[in-house]
Amino acid sequence: MNAVSPGPIETNFINQADMDEKREEQFREQVESQVPLGRFGEAEEVANVALFLLSNAASYVTASEHAVDGGMTKR
């Protein structure tokens, strides 16, 4: 079994949180300051890791966790 562990990913969750514009900007700045790459990830970046694990290229990969989090867990 392998696992994909995403960090902060750009989705519509902020829109659904009903934050005003100023609070959303503060939230984004706070999160991005914790990510060594300085940005939210994209859903496609998480999907690419999952696709790799599902492909024959990963046929000898097992019992692994892949953090797709811009380096947050390595801070």
pLDDT at position 14 over 80: no
pLDDT of 75 reads 76
Q: How many helices (H) and strands (E) does the chain have?
A: 3, 2
pTM of the model: 0.88
Instruction: List, for residues 17-63, the tens digit of each pLDDT value.
Output: 888 999 999 999 999 999 999 999 999 999 999 999 999 999 999 99
pLDDT of 46 reads 98
Q: How far is CA 1 from CA 24, 33, 38, 60, 65, in A?
A: 36, 32, 30, 11, 9
